[in-house]
Structure 1
Amino acid sequence: MITAGGDLATQPAKTGLAVIEWRPDEARLTRLQLDVTDRDIVGAALTAQKVGIDCPLGWPDDFIAFITAHAGGRVELPTAESGDELRRRLAYRQTDRVVRQAGYSPLSVAADRIGLTAIRVAIILEDLAAAGAPVDRSGAGVVAEVYPAASLGRWGLAHRQYKRESNRAAREALVAAVREQVPWLDLGGHGPLCEDSDDALDAVVAALTARAAALGRCDSPPEHDTERARREGWILLPNGPLSTLVLDDSDGGSR
């Protein structure tokens, strides 16, 4: 099996891409790079069973309905809804609310700069679909929406204050913790880049989360939220230890 991970930004220079090749009792990071183009991501996704992308895959249903009504000049608001309640409902997707309840803080794709990155990923998803890849924003297709910091937290690893150049020491400690927890993962000489760049490190975590998603070891949207997740996207959080991502027996889905 091959999984990929993309830490997306508006510009290629701040975008990371990781590719991990999985075998029954080991895994190897075969590719890790920065300065990643849309074509790079699409190409990696087409060779992988699952690609984890750290970016919202859609916008809140209520936000779309609101701006559509606003464009037509016919906005109707519930009289009992306060300004703060309205803004929260429009700003966050259902998956964002679920992840917040789990103790993490996803950004608002409707009211934060990450919305610019989401425009980029929307084009990438279209390119993947045009190439024949099964794209489902709920995570059922080749693409899984991931949240690296939350994945690290779920795996019992440090997940705060490891970003930016000033936190290099924290990244070094985090890479060391990953090596200790999963000695079967060969970083293939890319460890220093993970320590240098949080974009590269997040791409690796995204590829690891993609493996969890491919094995069915992530929290999928509940049945009543599935259709909404196919429009808004759904953050897949791992629900098992990092150590369970490598298999002791034959890896039946390898490619």
Structure 2
Amino acid sequence: MGIDLAARPSATAVTVIEWGEGSARVSAPRGGWTDDELVGLLMELGPDDWAGVDCPFGWPVEFVRAVSAHAAGEPWPGRGQEQAGYRNGPLRFRRTDVVARELTGAWPQPPALGWLSVVVARWAFIADEMNARGRPIDRTGADRIAEVYPAGARRLWGLRGERSTAALVHAAPWLEFEPGARRRFDEDTDAYDALIAALVARAVAQGSTTRPSHPDLEVARTEGWLHLPHAGGLAGLL
């Protein structure tokens, strides 16, 4: 399953891929998902189901520390540092974002001090609801629900052009789309990102994505961790 999470339900898309012998059947995307619907969807994941969510699972540790210090009237953690560098570095980006930059050559959207922070807040509510219902989420992606980065995955898979199912089918001819689904993916960028997220979820299930190293594991449990597929083609997913 791939989820392209947005601040608004109208811009949130979900698609599902069913994997079989020699093929992968892609369901038509659906948009307009509310918080309660997403919670219900994720709660229904079976033992062999995996979900890739296009949304940071947490904020940078330094951002949280700075906001908490300011709220409490304590010294600003960046005191004595060059402020532009502090604001555009550890306040905006997580450790996993730095790793993603090294692997893909591009920065992901920062989860703090920008528009994406609102989406992270939406995910925090969804994750809390799931925790309250007995399904806590491992922010490292080790338990079938993983944070993914469709733009970075496309770079690593050589899909650098426009969002196009033609490019996907060329690289992965075993993809089978429901009637009319390809047109919807081609016309809706949110749906297309959900499709890429579902493909990355398959890579996560196979163990063929970036994982936090031992030194990064503790911070990943707080900030979240971006799962990027190993460089190369899509052929290995089948």
TM-score w.r.t. structure 2 length? 0.91
Take 1:24 and 1:42, find their aligned partners in 2: how far apart are those partners? 30
Residue 143 of structure 2 is matched in structure 1 by: 141
Correspondent of 1:183 among 173, 181, 200: 173
1:77-96 alignment, distance < 5 Å: 77=77, 81-87=81-87, 88-96=89-97
Unaligned runs of 5+ in 2: none
Between the two proteins, the alignment pairs up a number of residues equal to 231
Q: Which runs of 5+ in 1 are unaligned?
A: 160-169, 247-255
In structure 2, do the counterparts of structure 1 residues 21 and 105 end up closer, same or farther at CA, with 3 Å as the change threshold? same
Counterpart of 2:38 in structure 1 is 41
Q: Return the offset for 1:104.
A: 1.8
Q: Match for 1:209: what amino acid?
A: V
Deviation at 1:131, TM superposition (A): 3.4
- How far the C-alpha of 1:76 sits from its partner, in A, is 4.4
- The residue that corresponds to 2:125 in the other structure is 123
Q: CA contact under 8 A between 1:92 and 1:108: conserved in structure 2?
A: yes
How far 1:129 sits from its partner (Å)? 2.6
SS at match of 1:203: helix
Partner SS state of residue 178, structure 1? helix
User: Is the 1:218–1:236 contact (alpha carbons within 8 Å) kept by the matching residues of 2?
Assistant: yes
Amino acid at match of 1:92: F
Q: Return the alpha-carbon distance in structure 2 between the equivalents of residues 28 and 39 of structure 1.
A: 26
Measure how far apart 1:77 and its partner are.
Answer: 4.1
TM alignment of 1:51-200, pairs within 5 A = 51-77=51-77, 81-87=81-87, 88-102=89-103, 103-158=105-160, 170-171=162-163, 174-189=164-179, 190-200=181-191
8 Å CA contact 2:127, 2:136 repeated in 1: no
SS of 1:47's partner is coil
Q: Is the 8 A contact 2:4 2:194 kept in 1?
A: yes
Q: Give the TM-score taking structure 1 as reference length.
A: 0.85
Note the aligned Cα RMSD (angstroms): 1.6
In structure 2, the CA distance between the partners of 1:81 and 1:178, relative to structure 1 (3 Å rule), is same
Letter in 2 for 1:202: D
